[in-house]
Amino acid sequence: MTTEAQNSAVFASLTASFTVFHWHGDTFDLPPGAVRLAYSEVCTNQAFIYGDRVLGLQFHLESTKYSVRQIIENCASELVVGKYIQKPEEMLARDDDFNNINTTMCGILNYFATFTK
């Protein structure tokens, strides 16, 4: 996470580094006026915020073990050998990773829910 992320309300409860689920081959440039919140060695723009109500993520916090199994079942042909590409069994090996990203997603959704009150 960037310094801006560590000081932002939306990511306030997160640690400086955390594991998320990825399944993508593309990336994006930041929109004008957006602030980068997260990056990785592979992907410069992992998350951004625009104002205080628009969040863009280049990873999946909503993933569950079941949904990842479904992606693997239907899209395994997209997996290629590479430094940052896990094998299906590695993606499914750690239940705590799914619990953590789902908890993180709930925290982010709760943050945005405060704007509707």
| pLDDT above 80 (res 21) | yes
Write the pLDDT tens digit of every residue in 81-109: 888 889 999 999 988 999 999 999 998 99
Write the pLDDT tens digit of every residue in 39-78: 988 889 999 999 888 999 999 999 999 999 999 999 999 9
Backbone phi, then psi, for 65, in 5-degree steps? -60, -40
User: How confident is the model at residue 54, as a pLDDT?
Assistant: 92
User: How confident is the model at residue 114, as a pLDDT?
Assistant: 86
| pLDDT above 80 (res 18) | no
The stretch 106-116 carries a mean pLDDT of 87
pTM as predicted: 0.84
CB distance 21 to 96 below 8 Å: no
Q: Which of 2, 14, 6, 9 is nearest to 38 (CA)?
A: 2
